[in-house]
Amino acid sequence: MTETIDNLLERIGRNFQITGQEVKKAGLAALHCSQEQLHGVLIYLKEVEKFDTLTMIGCADWIEDDYFELSYMAYSFTTFFTVMVKIRVSRDGSSVPTVEGIWRQARTFEREIHEMFGVDFPGNTRLKEFFLENWQGMPPMKRDFDTVQFVKDHYKLREEGREGACNVSVERKKRIDAKKLELKKEGE
Amino acid sequence: MDNLNKKDKAQLKELKSPMAVVDWAVNWFRKQSIFMLAYGTGCGAIEIPPTVTARYDAERFGVRGAATPRQADVIVLSGYLAVKTLKRVIRTYEQMQEPKYVIALGSCPINGGMYWDSYNTIKQLDRYLPVDVTVAGCMPRPEAVLEGFMALKDKIQRGEAEGARDYRDNIEKYKNNQKEIFGDKMLPGYTCDWYFSDGGSF
């Protein structure tokens, strides 16, 4: 019997409390579970179903419903399936224990999410600043972060126009005329 | 004299004093060989390889790559600069030996470009570094990049490419502007010893 993603989801559903699941397309499935079930599901995927690698951890900010959705994407090199395990955490002061112990690369993904969304990952050994240096205040990828206001406060935008600003089309015509004249002279 | 083109000869005839001729000659030699340090910061990094390779062949104009900042004459900043990148760029620029020039590609270093409302890219490069030539475009094609180099060569020949001197003379202004975005994580002092040895206050 060939392995299908439906069989896989059924096996996971037998062992864990899955609150929702769907097959997005061939070889890609998403399943929702609670935060308590997350580590169990991921360890099961890695050790029993041979999902060798964690491709990424995504984070989406659902500000209207007041939660972050974290998606752990695991990939198998034997069946070529991708499984997204999704959990929901609250937007303020949320913390999810790290999965660094399962896949080591999770350390970097979590570091980025920590910086961009402010989700805490207790147990992560390298949760320091990543892209942003010396960042204070609200993490910038949260949707209530006002990026335009931030830019106005922190950077100087160039004022409209400058001294000696010229009309581009007029200047271009002048240049072309001068070039023509030059060519004409060379031709003579 | 055979290697001089018409424009050069016309310029030479206008020079009055012998010292002016020496200056002119020094600038003429300088502009013939420009070693470029391509600092690929944004999307413009992809325009540099075609510029220097067979198709557009920048070496026709004496423009070629340099291995390290200390061997380079011009630093090409290709695209937007994140705050973190800018810090590295300033360190690189301060390591370069004079005469040194800066070419900025694309609209992002000029006014922020399409990243004008980004929290993490700077909006005006010339507040932090003395830019000699900016090439507008998003991104400028290799022809435009070469045109930028031609403009720089003209500027060198006229003796007007004085970005490095401007940086030295107005170091207070530049360092203040840099401090605005770096805050207390300023560059370490040894990156510009010539400034800090004079009792700079940062």
Distance, CA of B202 to CA of B200 (rounded, Å)? 6
B118–A151 C-beta distance less than 8 A: yes
Chain B touched by A145 (CB under 8 Å): yes
In-domain check, residue B103: yes
Collapsing DSSP to helix, strand or coil, A100 comes out as coil
pLDDT digits (tens, 9 = 90+) for A27-42: 899 999 999 989 999 9
Question: How far is Cα A131 from Cα B181, in angstroms, rounded to an integer?
Answer: 15
Instruction: Identify from A146, A158, A175, A185 which residue to disrupt to test chain B contact, counting B C-beta atoms within 10 A and taking the largest count.
Output: A158
> Which residue out of B84, B85, B114, B117 would a mutagenesis test of the A interface target, given it has the greatest number of A Cβ atoms within 10 Å?
B117
pLDDT, one tens digit per residue, over A95-107 is 899 999 999 999 9
Asked if B110 lies within 8 A of A158 by C-beta distance, the reply is yes
| Nearest Cα residue to A66 out of A90, A34, A96 | A90
Look at residue B74 in the predicted model and tell me its pLDDT: 93
**Type of residue found at B78:** S
Task: Say if CB A99 and CB A85 are below 8 A apart.
Answer: no
- Contact at 8 Å (CB) between A91 and A60? no
Determine the Cα–Cα distance for residues B3 and A169; give it in Å rounded to an integer.
36
Contact state of B118 with A147 under an 8 Å Cβ cutoff: yes
Strand, coil or helix: A88: strand
Greater model confidence, B101 or A92: B101
pLDDT of residue A57 exceeding 50: yes
Share of chain A above pLDDT 90, in %: 53
B9 found inside a domain: no
Query: Quick one: pLDDT at residue B185?
Result: 78
Q: Is B19 a domain residue?
A: no
Specify the pLDDT at position B190: 61
pLDDT of residue A2: 75
* Per-residue confidence (pLDDT) for residue B197, from 0 to 100: 52
- What are the chain B neighbours of A154 within 8 Å (beta carbons)? 119, 180-181
Q: Stretch A112-136: mean pLDDT, rounded?
A: 88
CB A19 within 8 A of CB A32: yes
Question: Using the beta-carbon criterion (under 8 Å), do A157 and B116 form an inter-chain contact?
Answer: yes
| A74/A168: higher pLDDT | A74
Q: What is the ipTM of this complex?
A: 0.78
Per-residue tens of pLDDT for chain B, all 202 residues: 566 788 888 888 888 888 888 989 999 999 899 999 988 888 888 889 999 999 999 999 999 889 899 899 999 998 899 988 898 899 889 888 888 999 999 988 988 888 888 998 998 898 999 999 999 888 899 999 999 999 999 999 988 888 888 888 888 888 889 988 888 778 776 666 555 554 444 4
A62 close contact with B: CB closer than 8 A: no
Contacts of A158 in chain B (CB under 8 A): 110-112, 123-124
In a domain, B45, yes or no: yes
- Kindly report the backbone phi and psi dihedral angles of residue B145, in degrees, each rounded to the nearest multiple of 5, phi listed first: -65, -45
- CB contacts of A156 in chain B (<8 Å) are 123-124, 127
B122 in contact with A, Cβ within 8 Å: yes
Instruction: Give the residue on A whose Cα is nearest the Cα of B184.
Output: A134
CATH code for the domain in which residue B106 is found: 3.40.50.12280
- The answer, for B170 touching chain A at a CB cutoff of 8 Å, is no
**Residue A175, domain extent:** 5-187
Task: Name the H helices within chain A.
Answer: 5-15, 35-47, 106-117, 147-154, 168-187
By the 10 Å C-beta count (0-12 exposed, 13-18 middle, 19+ buried), A111 is classed as: buried
Q: Give ∠ CA A160-B104-B194 in degrees, rounded to 5.
A: 105
Q: Tell if the CB–CB gap between A134 and B111 is shorter than 8 Å.
A: no
Would an 8 Å CB–CB cutoff place B179 in contact with chain A? no
pLDDT at B5: 80
Mean pLDDT of A162-177: 82
At residue A137, the pLDDT reads 86
Domain count, chain B: 1
Measuring CA to CA, how many Å separate B57 from each of A13, A28, B51, B61? 61, 46, 6, 8
Q: Quick check: A127 pLDDT over 90?
A: no
Structural tokens at position B103: 């070419």
Choose among A95, A103, A87, A85: nearest CA to A127: A95
Does B21 reside within a domain? no
How confident is the model over A146-175, as a mean pLDDT? 83
Residue with tokens 């972060």: A145
pLDDT at A182 over 50: yes
Q: Indicate the residue type of A34.
A: S
Does residue B3 form part of some domain?
no
Give pLDDT, residue B34.
92
pLDDT for the residue B43:
84
Domain membership flag for residue B20: no
Q: What is the CATH number of the domain that holds A104?
A: 3.30.460.80
Structural domain contains residue B174 = yes
Single-letter amino acid, residue A83: V
Give residue B172's domain range.
34-190
> In the structure encoding, which two tokens stand for residue B88, read together?
């590295």
Does the CB of B190 have a partner CB in chain A at under 8 Å?
no
What strands, in cross-sheet order, belong to the sheet with A28-33? A18-25, A28-33, A82-90, A67-75, A53-62
| Mean pLDDT, range A109-126, rounded to an integer | 91
Nearest CB neighbour to A147, from listed B112, B119, B184: B119
Q: Which long-range contacts (CB under 8 A, 24 or more apart) does A50-56 make?
A: A50/A76, A50/A78, A50/A79, A51/A75, A51/A76, A51/A81, A51/A83, A52/A76, A52/A77, A52/A78, A53/A77, A53/A103, A53/A105, A54/A99, A54/A102, A54/A103, A54/A105, A54/A106, A54/A109, A55/A82, A56/A109
Q: Are B117 and B57 in contact (CB under 8 A)?
A: no
Q: Please, are residues A59 and A86 in contact by the beta-carbon 8 Å criterion?
A: no
Query: Is A120's pLDDT higher than 80?
Result: yes
Total of domains in chain A: 1
Please give the mean pLDDT across all residues of chain A. Answer: 89
| CB nearest A158 (choices: B83, B124, B181) | B124
